[in-house]
């Protein structure tokens, strides 16, 4: 091979590239003698928005629907799939059922490395544009990405912005909304020994123009039945750090107190609970606070939320 030359593996456009993108890809040129950035990389940046949308669709895996990162695999008929989904389809193309090998779609990988696309949360307010590879990493942490429903009593799949989720909690989960930064809640359970079947409780508070979720639940900590109360902030972690809260439970002249920073609802409910980041009350202590009859749980949890100066 002569110095300065190179071998280029060309994947036919009909095998690896959607016909609807031919206009966007017609300007692509591979120059084996150039050591600079390929000229088609710059031309892709200037194609129309509709073409970029088509490219984004082309880079979507048909199995997981996430954007594909190199290595991008293709079947003998040119249908593409991300490498992480290969085992999920038993090594067979989900489109034509041909057996998948280890053939890489080099042309599509080149496209993925060279284009810049807007964040997929652009419609929610994100104005950032990134090279494709950086775009995927950005979207995983984008502050405009939807929040998951914070309700812990069911596997709710609803996601959206904070105003939408507040409305969803009130209308669909029948959660109470309270205005103010102090609270005084009473939790009653007729059979405190059925810890694993205790009702999940959630109350939403609005103060300082923000929304907070107060959780109260029962679960087994190892072999010990416990109750736990904690607060989550409906927003980003960076904003949650601007607030503090305290919780107090007591009776018979005794009390337990907790002070902490609310966790963002970006952290899943189970993650917060399993980190024990809240007020934990062992059942024997809870029953002692409940007037000592041990036949019924009657806990009064008070607290307040304040803003750090």
Do β-strands 176-179 and 201-207 pair in parallel, antiparallel, or remain unpaired? Answer: parallel
User: How many angstroms separate the CA atoms of 175 and 181, rounded?
Assistant: 17
DSSP letter for 11, please: P
Please tell me the number of Cα atoms within 13 Å of 232 on its side-chain side: 26
Alpha helices in the chain (DSSP H): 13-16, 22-25, 39-45, 49-58, 106-114, 132-141, 162-172, 237-240, 269-274, 283-289
Helix (H) / strand (E) containing 176: strand 176-179
With cut-offs at 50, 70 and 90, classify the pLDDT of residue 14: very low
Q: Give 294's pLDDT tier (boundaries 50, 70, 90).
A: low
Tell whether the model's pLDDT for residue 36 goes beyond 80: no
What pairs with residue 112 in β-bridges? none
The overall longest dimension of the chain from CA atoms, in Å, is 92
CA-CA-CA-CA torsion sign (74, 65, 67, 89): negative
Structure tokens at 141: 């942490």
| Rg of the chain on CA atoms, in Å | 27
Q: Per-residue pLDDT for 261 more than 80?
A: yes
Q: Give pLDDT, residue 194.
A: 67
Tokens read off for 57: 């669709």
SS3 category, 39: helix
d(CA 105, CA 52): 19
Pairing between β-strand 224-233 and β-strand 263-264 as defined by DSSP bridges: parallel
Do the bridges between strand 159-160 and strand 147-148 make them parallel or antiparallel, or are there none, so unpaired?
A: antiparallel
Residues 6+ apart with CB under 8 A from 169: 149, 150, 151, 175, 177, 202, 204
- Mean pLDDT, rounded, for 123-145: 87
Q: Which of 51, 69, 48, 62 is nearest to 135 (CA)?
A: 69
Q: Which is nearest to 257 in space by CA: 213, 208, 304, 225?
A: 304
Q: What is the pLDDT of residue 245?
A: 97
For the ranges 29-33, 46-50, 192-196, 261-265, the one whose mean pLDDT is highest: 261-265
**Encoded tokens for 3:** 């110095």
DSSP 190: S
Phi, psi dihedrals of residue 210, rounded to the nearest 5° = -120, 170
pLDDT, the chain, mean = 79
């Amino acid at each position: 091979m002569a110095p300065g030359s190179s071998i280029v593996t060309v994947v036919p456009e009909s095998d690896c590239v959607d016909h609807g993108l031919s206009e966007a890809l017609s300007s692509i040129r591979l120059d084996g003698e150039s050591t600079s950035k390929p000229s088609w990389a710059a031309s892709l940046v200037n194609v129309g928005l509709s073409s970029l949308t088509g490219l984004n669709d082309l880079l979507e895996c048909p199995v997981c629907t996430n954007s594909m990162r190199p290595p991008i695999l293709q079947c003998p008929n040119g249908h593409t799939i991300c490498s992480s989904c290969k085992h999920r389809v038993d090594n067979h193309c989900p489109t034509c059922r041909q057996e998948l090998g280890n053939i890489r779609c080099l042309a599509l990988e080149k496209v993925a490395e060279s284009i810049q696309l807007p964040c997929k949360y652009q419609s929610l307010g994100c104005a950032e544009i990134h090279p494709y590879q950086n775009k995927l990493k950005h979207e995983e942490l984008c502050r405009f990405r939807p929040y998951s429903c914070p309700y812990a009593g069911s596997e709710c799949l609803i996601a959206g912005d904070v105003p939408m989720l507040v409305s969803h909690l009130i209308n669909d989960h029948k959660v109470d909304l309270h205005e103010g930064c102090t609270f005084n809640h009473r939790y009653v359970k007729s059979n405190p020994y059925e810890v694993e079947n205790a009702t999940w409780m959630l109350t939403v508070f609005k103060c300082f123009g923000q929304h907070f979720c107060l959780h109260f639940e029962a679960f087994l900590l190892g072999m010990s039945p416990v109750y736990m109360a904690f607060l989550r902030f409906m927003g980003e972690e960076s904003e949650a750090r601007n607030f503090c809260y305290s919780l107090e439970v007591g009776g018979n002249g005794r009390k337990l107190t907790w002070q902490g920073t609310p966790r963002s609802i970006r952290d899943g409910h189970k993650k917060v609970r399993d980190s024990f980041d809240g007020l934990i009350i062992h059942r024997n202590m809870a029953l002692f606070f409940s007037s000592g009859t041990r036949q019924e749980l009657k806990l009064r949890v008070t607290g307040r939320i304040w803003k750090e100066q």
